[in-house]
Amino acid sequence: MNDDVALNFSPNSLLLNGILAVVMFSVAIDLMPDDFRRLLRAPKPVLVGLFSQFVVLPVLTFFLILATTPQASIALGLILVAACPGGNISNFITQRAGGNAALSVLMTAIATVAAIFLTPLNIALWGRLYAPTRAILQDTAIDPMSVAITVGFMLILPLILGVLLNAKKPALTARLRKPLQWLSMGIFVAFVVLAIAANWSYFLDFAGVIAGLVIAHNALAFCGGYAISTLAKLSNFDRRAVTIETGIQNSGLGLVLIFTFFGGLGGMAIVAAFWGIWHAISGIIVATLMSRSKAAR
């Protein structure tokens, strides 16, 4: 794929922002203010999870790029996905795996707040260390502060509203929880399907190469999460949550950033779209394997 190719898909930015807001709100209504207070008393699992997502995964991504030398737009797509916080389906998958679902929800929320600063920082840092992606960043009018503002409005506001609603109206959030989870997942799947349908020839030509890289990248993410949580001596219960949280990335946010700041650059968008499909499949596989034994707490 030529690195000048942009996907034939121009989604309304307000629609994309709304999708991400609904997704984040569906995560936030599982949280209470006390959850954040507990974090202050026992922060180790969350800190390990944040380190795994925002340090270990970008480092592993950079080594994967050096080893495989993909073209610039594909490499930058891998870097961007690795720079995003965990995705909300990680909470559902962690529960299926018999891991600490409460920890998973809290990691998603904290990582989302941290993403305001760490996502643009990681994109700029790792993108500039690899010469081909550095050229794209130099030609792209991307301001880290603009990325931070975009992430903040899309994710932080619904997070605050969701936590407040759960604290004030728990009966209402209990009724909203399942429908919102299914709605957010359905909307995102529909978005990915429409993007693929509008660019079918590109996907046929390049999906094989990109699929292999995404599958390897995702496997590295799961392995990195498992390794760092094992080295940190987390319980098996918490280790499952950190492993899955690292392997499930918010590729929906990645797509928003790609269409907002990179003009829908083809290689990047296909990487993020394939991640959105594959990590759900791989997450269910990992959860099924983990669930065969009970996690010690």
Span 182-232, pLDDT tens digits: 776 676 667 667 666 766 666 666 667 788 999 999 999 999 999 999 999
Residue 104 has pLDDT above 80, yes or no: yes
Q: Which is more confident, 42 or 131?
A: 131
For the CA atoms of 75, 54, 232, 283, the dihedral, rounded to the nearest 10 degrees, stands at -60
Positive or negative torsion for Cα 108, 16, 54, 112: negative
Q: Which is more confident, 67 or 266?
A: 67
Q: What is the CATH number of domain 13-290?
A: 1.20.1530.20
240 neighbors 288 (Cβ within 8 angstroms) = no
Please report, rounded to a whole number, the percentage of residues in the chain having pLDDT higher than 90: 28
Which of helix, strand or coil describes residue 178?
helix
d(CA 226, CA 208): 27
pLDDT tens, residue by residue, 8-45: 555 545 566 676 677 777 777 777 777 677 767 878 99
pTM: 0.81
pLDDT the model gives residue 205: 66
Q: How confident is the model at residue 64 (pLDDT cuts 50, 70, 90)?
A: very high
Q: Which is more confident, 135 or 21?
A: 135
Mean pLDDT for 169-192 is 75
Element (H, E) at 252: helix 251-261
